[in-house]
Amino acid sequence: MLPSSTVENYLKAIYQGQLQLATGVRLVPMGHVATALGVTPGTATTMVKALSESGLAEYEPYSGVRLTRAGEKLAGRVLRRHRLVELFLVQVMGMSWTEVHDEAEQLEHAVSERLIELIDEMLGRPTHDPHGDPIPTAAGALRPSPLENLLTCPLGTPLKVTRITDQDPAFLRFIEHNDLKPGQAVQVETRDAAADSVKVRRGNRTAITIGARAASKLLVEAVS
């Protein structure tokens, strides 16, 4: 099977689903795949069966799907192209980080590996895209780094925003407006379960309160 844009989209969606699986869970549910791609479950199942026949995925009826090593390698290369294109559009073309995701969704299928290599070299071999997502190697390898979010991190501890998991432009504008972009020093002061809110201090500035759903999308790491 040739790696068409449709195939690449499925591989990427399954791979990203795998990275979100809880410890001990092996398969990505078909419902997750269908939702991620905006298709019906039947359509997703048909395509996943084709990926399985091509040796790119392992499909278990009524259970889910997982990529083979070959599938993961191809998916990693798609992610690499996507994230390097995003960084190029921000750093070189001057686009806002809130608008590059959709552009990269189109360009990730069009740019050649040679062009991606040149972009990578020009940008100084970056390790992360503008949203803090790690950039796979040229071989498609991606080493996941477990991170906590603002709902699970310890209270009163110096932290740094590392990654934003939601690429929706409106959400990214919210993050930008509230100075919570990757690299920002933060500290969670309190959590209010009843109000589904989190009080966050940004450096030495006045603390702000954000919703629990938004807090769950901000990944952080301890400041060493």
User: What is the total residue count of the chain?
Assistant: 224
Radius of gyration of the chain (CA): 19
Looking at the predicted structure, is the pLDDT value of residue 149 above 50?
yes
Q: What is the pLDDT of residues 17-68, one digit of tens each?
A: 999 898 899 999 999 999 999 999 999 999 999 999 999 999 999 999 999 9
Q: What is the pLDDT of residues 94-119, one digit of tens each?
A: 999 999 999 999 999 999 999 999 99
Percent of the chain with pLDDT over 90: 90
Looking at the predicted structure, is the pLDDT value of residue 1 above 50?
no
Q: Set out the domains of the chain in order of their start, with CATH numbers.
A: 5-67 (1.10.10.10), 148-222 (2.30.30.90)
Six-digit token string for 172 = 């990214």
Whether the CB-CB separation of 198 and 210 falls below 8 Å is answered with yes
Q: Taking the model in full, what pTM does it have?
A: 0.91
Q: Cα(145)–Cα(110) distance, rounded to whole angstroms?
A: 29
What is the chain's mean pLDDT, rounded? 95
DSSP labels for 164-203?
Answer: E----HHHHHHHHHTT-STT-EEEEEEEETTTTEEEEEET
